[in-house]
Chain A
């Protein structure tokens, strides 16, 4: 029997040791099947993505394992951010299948998705304060009393190093703080999976390193699976366990694996990407 329908937990914990969530959600996105512990949390098969007649990437096959930090890399305009939009259900695939946490291609109208998302510029709701931004998913999806919601929101903001900013409006925050606040919102309902779109783009190197540190810490302490879109080489080497690299001309994955090994690749497209920029730094 599918018990999640009766008692949906926001976070069906992957690892037995992880702390159990107190947050219970009223209507989670229905699950087709429960994943086993070692099954991939994101499973993409033969995926083709694009806009209308324009195909950006085709025949994409990859899996994201639980608890890893997985990087989607590639040069500008190769479609990595677009791929993210497909993975989180904002666009429907042209061909192929996506399975996210045993729920298939996410149908966003069916209830709370099993993941959190941080968009490139944060995408905080401008008419709400930072605290309200983080509280919103809790208010909408749980029956928690107001003070508990506020306490959780404060805790999430503290987690990303933004204590004290709860009453500020997004327009009063710097770019880095917006991204942090957006991560706090993505974590509000304690998902097992988060998607981050260019978390360190546009930040100064120190701030970017801090944010990377935060992502690694979250992934380690919460057992969080992180799928991250980026072209910041420093970030990739610091945080990513495995990566796939998309190519604009080939329109598919040209490399996959541990980023440190890809640096020594014989394929110039790959080694150029991993080395040229890292020499600049």
Chain B
């Protein structure tokens, strides 16, 4: 869920930023200054997502559980205490960890796809728009595939 939001927000932004740099010849300018676009534009974005997406995932976990609590109290006649106790029983540290592990892989995938699409932009503002759209589509597809892969792997190892 977090990854989908990040893909729509940051992935699209990355593609648009790098794409507009590409069509403005800023990438070429960077290269002719002897600087590498990968080190300057891609690495910082990967690092940023890898640091932030797991944190966002933790926040999302917390918000999700809190949301459940709210619904439970209002609609399902649960007590706050009861909900928390049952949740702590049901959720293990491992659940959170696998979530974090997945979020790491998601963030690298989003950053790489977005940057690749940005670099592939050509033909002015229209080209940037196209690449931004295809970043979101490609990343969403990749996220679903990666998630499925994780499910298979976790199942195989009985996690």
> B-contacting residues of A (Cβ < 8 Å)?
27, 29, 85, 88-90, 108-113, 115-117, 119-121, 123-126, 136-137, 140-141, 185
Contact = CB atoms under 8 A, between A and B. Distances in A.
A119 B28 contact: yes
A140 B35 contact: yes
A60 B31 CA distance: 25
Interface in B23-61: 24-26, 28-36
Contact of A112 (B24, B25, B30, B34): B34
Contact of B32 (A117, A120, A124): A117
From B21, B24, B25, B32, residue with most partner A Cβ within 10 Å = B32
A117 B30 CA distance: 10
B32 A88 contact: yes
B20 interface: yes
A121 B34 contact: no
Given A126-B20, A126-B21, A113 B34 contact: yes
Chain B interface, DSSP helix/strand/loop, else mixed: helix
A137 B29 contact: no
Given A111-B34, A140-B35, A117 B29 contact: yes
Contact of B25 (A110, A121, A137, A141): A121
Nearest to A114: B34
B12 to A, nearest CB: 17
Contacts of B28: 85, 90, 117, 119, 123
A141 B30 CA distance: 13
A108 B32 contact: yes
29 contacts: A85-B28, A88-B32, A89-B32, A90-B32, A108-B31, A108-B32, A110-B34, A112-B34, A113-B34, A116-B32, A117-B28, A117-B29, A117-B32, A119-B25, A119-B29, A120-B25, A121-B24, A121-B25, A123-B26, A124-B26, A124-B29, A125-B21, A125-B29, A125-B30, A126-B24, A136-B33, A140-B34, A140-B35, A141-B34
Contacts of B29: 117, 119, 123-125, 185
A137 B33 contact: yes
A136 B31 CA distance: 13
Given A123-B24, A140-B35, 14 more contacts: A27-B34, A29-B34, A89-B32, A111-B34, A112-B33, A113-B34, A117-B29, A119-B25, A121-B24, A123-B25, A125-B29, A126-B21, A126-B24, A137-B33
Contacts of B30: 125
9 A-B pairs with the lowest CB-CB distances in the bound complex, closest first: A123-B29, A123-B25, A112-B34, A119-B25, A117-B32, A108-B31, A123-B26, A137-B33, A88-B32
Contacts of B33: 112-113, 136-137, 140
A231 B19 CA distance: 28
From A27, A90, A123, residue with most partner B Cβ within 10 Å = A123
Given A121-B25, A123-B25, A108 B34 contact: yes
A257 B33 CA distance: 31
Contacts of A89: 32
B102 to A, nearest CB: 31
Contacts of A116: 32
Contacts of A185: 29
A124 B25 CA distance: 9
A115 B20 CA distance: 25
A141 B35 CA distance: 10
B36 A109 contact: yes
Nearest to A115: B32
A25 B43 CA distance: 24
A11 to B, nearest CB: 15
A58 B35 CA distance: 30
B32 A125 contact: no
Contacts of B35: 140
Nearest to B30: A125
Contact of B31 (A90, A115, A121): A90
B27 to A, nearest CB: 9
